[in-house]
Amino acid sequence: MALVTGANKGIGRAVAEGLAARGMTVLIGARDPRQGEDTAAALRADGYDARAVVVDVTSPATVTAAAHTVTTTAGRLDVLVNNAGISGGTPHLPDEADLDVVRQVFDTNLFGVIRVTNAMLPLLRRSSSARIVNISSGTSSMTAMTDPDHYFAGMEASVAYPASKTALNMLTVQYAKRLRPEGILVNAAAPGACATDFTVPYTRATGRTVTRTAAQGGADEFTRRAPSTFATAPPARGGPGRGRQARTMTDREPVEARNLDIYGGGELAWETVRDALVAALPKMETPVFLGTARPDGRPHAAGVGAQWYEGDLYCTSGPGTRKSGDLAANPACTFSIRTPVADVVLEGDARRVTDPAVLEPVAAGYREGGWPAQVDGDALTAPFSAQSAGPPPWHVFRFTFHTVVAVGITEPFGATRWRFA
């Protein structure tokens, strides 16, 4: 069961369609009952399970009523997408701002998220794999806004929409910290500018042409191709499912660094190695080797295709292969990856994943990298694979690392080990 606020049009509708296409029952949250029902009816006509629910995120009464509807309909909520938002129009120059309008923007874009999330939390806590997605905006980026080479820097100053979305990003971080022990995944995603009613004032003010459709923006939320996406829950130990790490690879910072260079060189920069690891996968040409331990203790190594998703490394393996058998008995393993700047070894644990909500974006990531993978039940299949993978279907494994060792292969060379919490 999923609830999407502001789902009667634009990005919200596209996200609702994407969730429905993945077999979820979707509640179309809308302020206007007729518009919500029209959208739900259109989805039902396409064969999806969709129902309208009145949700005005600025109205505690409608939010409470929506929570009651979910309770009586399904008894739990698996996905909450806080999409409803307003721009307040343009411009809202800091020294000329109409504070009444600014309050309306913040009431919808920030306080409304708190209002809806808190009302739905008892229902999300009943789900075995709950997740919350807050729809942010590229205009929330302080880096982009202050970069003289980015077109955002040329936009008029505004204390309404961009400021509300920047605040939303921090709110997302705080919810992620609070809910991490319960295993509830909390993300913020910016789908980028799309050709919807919402962006008309923006295009008029900037003179830019937006050709990207709402369907493309909504689809990106499921394939991680959104122009700006970050998952904010800090890392959590444990196996698959509840409590799993939700941070992106680029968010993680080491808690310890040790210089291993015996020739007096300095430490390698973690940021350089990190960026190289992210850029290297899931390219098919990147060599990646998985090291496992046989039951008798002897080592085993095999080439695999790997990719990053929500902070962890994912790979595939046939159920009858040596590496799959090794991991079933002992999840401790290593991944060795050659990048343009360093040879990198990651140490951690790998366990099988069967959750369709994870398999789908992992398959999409492989397709981006050139391997046409598709979800088949609780595994993946494709017209071809590496010889070492064995025959299809292929199981998917999530690897969570705790140690990284890198040996530089370009200037300044060097060797460094990092440990992670």
166-170, 193-197, 331-335: which has the minimum mean pLDDT? 193-197
Of 72-86, 205-219, 405-419, give the lowest mean pLDDT range: 205-219
Q: Are 38 and 244 in contact (CB under 8 A)?
A: no
Residue 244 pLDDT exceeds 60: no
Q: Identify which of 20-29, 202-211, 226-235 has the greatest average pLDDT.
A: 20-29
Instruction: Please report, for the chain, the start and end positions of each structural domain, with discontinuous segments joined by +.
Output: 2-233, 250-419
d(CA 420, CA 189): 25
Among residues 165, 309, 314, 366, which one is catalytic? 165
If one compares 63 and 226, the residue with the highest pLDDT of the two is: 63
Q: Which CATH superfamily is domain 250-419 in?
A: Electron Transport, Fmn-binding Protein; Chain A (2.30.110.10)
Distance CA 417, CA 174 (A): 30
Contact assessment for residue 82 and residue 56, using Cβ atoms and an 8 Å cutoff: no
As a whole-number percent, the residues of the chain with pLDDT over 70 amount to 84
Fold of 2-233: Rossmann fold (3.40.50)
Q: Which residues of 139-163 are buried (b: 16+ CB within 10 A; e: fewer)?
A: bbbeebbeeeeeebeebeebbbbbb
* Distance of alpha carbon 122 from alpha carbon 25, whole angstroms: 18
For 222-378, strand residue ranges (E) read 228-231, 256-259, 288-293, 299-303, 306-309, 312-317, 332-338, 342-353, 374-376
Degrees (nearest 5) of the Cα angle 226, 231, 232?
145
Cα 27 to Cα 18, 33, 188: the distances in Å are: 13, 12, 20
- Integer Cα distance of 245 and 401 in angstroms: 10
Higher pLDDT, residue 197 or 190: 190
Sign of dihedral through CA atoms 58, 8, 224, 25?
positive
Identify the pLDDT of residue 264: 83
Residues 33-68 pLDDT 10s: 999 999 999 999 999 999 999 999 999 999 999 999
- pLDDT of 233: 41
pLDDT in tens, 132-160: 999 998 888 888 778 887 767 777 888 88
Instruction: Provide the H-helix boundaries in 125-223.
Output: 142-146, 161-179, 200-206, 214-223
Model confidence over 393-418: pLDDT tens digits? 999 999 999 999 999 998 888 999 99
Q: What is the rounded distance in angstroms from the CA atom of residue 55 to the CA atom of residue 41?
A: 17
What is the rounded average pLDDT of the residues 284-296?
Answer: 90
Q: Which of 91-95, 279-283, 315-319 has the highest mean pLDDT?
A: 315-319
Give the active site residue among 48, 161, 175, 314: 161
Q: How far apart are CA 235 and CA 253, in angstroms?
A: 10
* Per-residue confidence (pLDDT) for residue 251, from 0 to 100: 65
CA distance 299 to 308: 25
Residue 335 burial (10 A CB sphere; 0-12, 13-18, 19+) = buried
Domain 2-233 and domain 250-419, same fold? Reply is no
d(CA 182, CA 108): 27
Q: Is 175 part of the annotated catalytic residue set? A: no
Catalytic residue status for 165 = yes
Q: Is the bond preceding 94 in cis, omega lying within 30 degrees of 0?
A: no
Nearby residues of 348 by Cβ (< 8 Å), 6 or more positions away: 332, 333, 334, 335, 399, 400, 401, 402, 403
Largest CA distance in the chain: 74
pLDDT band of residue 386 (cuts 50, 70, 90) is low
* pLDDT tens figures, 353-380: 999 888 988 888 888 777 888 999 999 9
